[in-house]
Structure 1
Amino acid sequence: MAVGAALIILAALTACSGAGADEATPTPDATDAAAQIVSIPMPEFAPWPAGDPFTEADIEAARIAEADRDWAGVLMSYPDAVRPEVVFEAYVTDENRVDVMRACYEAAGLPIDEGRTGTDPDSPVDAIGTSTSTVEEAIAAYSCRVAHPNKRTSGPPNAEQLGWIHDYLTEYYGPCLEANGIEVPPAPPRAEFVANWPNQGWFPSVGDHPMAMDAEWDAALAEACVDPDTAIMTGLVDREDG
């Protein structure tokens, strides 16, 4: 939807605001709210910069560090938990992740949480998870994740990539969210954003918008306002590394 449509919607809402004080303003249902989502033109960005080299040693170090972070999360809920020895079996892939993790969670007696590609309950399952309520369950879930982790193939974004992210957020993504009535705090200077990453304290998001938990509205917004990860991974923007 063009930006002009947003102005039409805004004008309509302004006209309605003159109604009597005793009249309740109806809350739009999910379909109406999703239909009001607008997009804005995307500027022509420079190609996504190439990342720094990432060696096999870096990949292994990242796997171990992620396991440590995962266990730290367990300890936040269960400070007295004893960390188990978990054998790394294999990295999961996009093709086998759902099946591998489902099998591990089920073997551990954990409940299965499915994520689907759409709101239809018959949509294909594209994500799998679990929820835990005891220390035993938390340890079992941790063990599955550590035995079958995702493979990290690149390091954290370098300075050139962080500068590109700042440009994308300030010139397109943030303004697109604002066009849909989502409050975006003022951005820090580019150099400050780069220097303080990942503790830069600013990244535009839906936040506590009243429609944030509605799947239909969220999907419409994601299509209209493409986040930087999606833009990079789907080829919406060019990449220096091809």
Structure 2
Amino acid sequence: MSDPMHAAPERMPQTEPAPDTRGVEEGYRTRAAGEPYQMRRDETERAMAARGGAMPEPMGTGGGPNTRAAHAIFAATRIALGFIFLWAFLDKMFGWNTSTKPANAVINGGSPTKGFLSNVDGPFAGMFNAMAGKWWADVLFMGALLGLGLALMLGIGMIVSAFAGPILMVMMWMASLPIATNPFLDDHIIYALVIVGLAVSRMGEPYSLGPWWQRTTLVRKMPWLR
């Protein structure tokens, strides 16, 4: 009889090692070990830019008819809003007799801010009356109209527009107080929200110069100019 104290140990059955399920950090999410690697968006952009290819399109661009229709509608909205700003600039600059008479045009020595800001009588009347007709106020106002008009119509510089547009719109809203037809809301606030929404969502970008603009050397160095 064999001595159990000195018997050969039983061979334990071999088992496969448990798969490593620890997450591996990959860009915007955690992928399981063994899952095929997917390039992060910034890596994709760099790779595409190095080959001279197009930058990745906004989310949903390659979707169905509803997505394409949404991009087209928002592009039309962006262009229409840009035309409002661009027309206001041209009318005040050249006096095309829609809201600005030729005698009051900028090219004839007129001030685009004096008439409107001088007549502000709301809670911020003192501030706006003091700004009326000042050269720096005229330059900033006309520059904002031209810049917003071109940026929105072309679909470039949308991040800058998302900051400059709401500032201009909120100041014009403040100058319009009190509002006769609504307790506090008017079209200036709606314009501001639309501009920010277009810049953040990038809806309508496929129907613009935005994809080309983002491939330029200037925007690659300063992405905030997108």
Asked if TM exceeds 0.5, the reply is no
- Name the one with the larger helix percent: 2
Q: Could you tell me the TM-score, scaled by structure 2's length?
A: 0.22
Greater radius of gyration (CA) = 2
What TM-score results when the alignment is normalised by the length of structure 1? 0.21
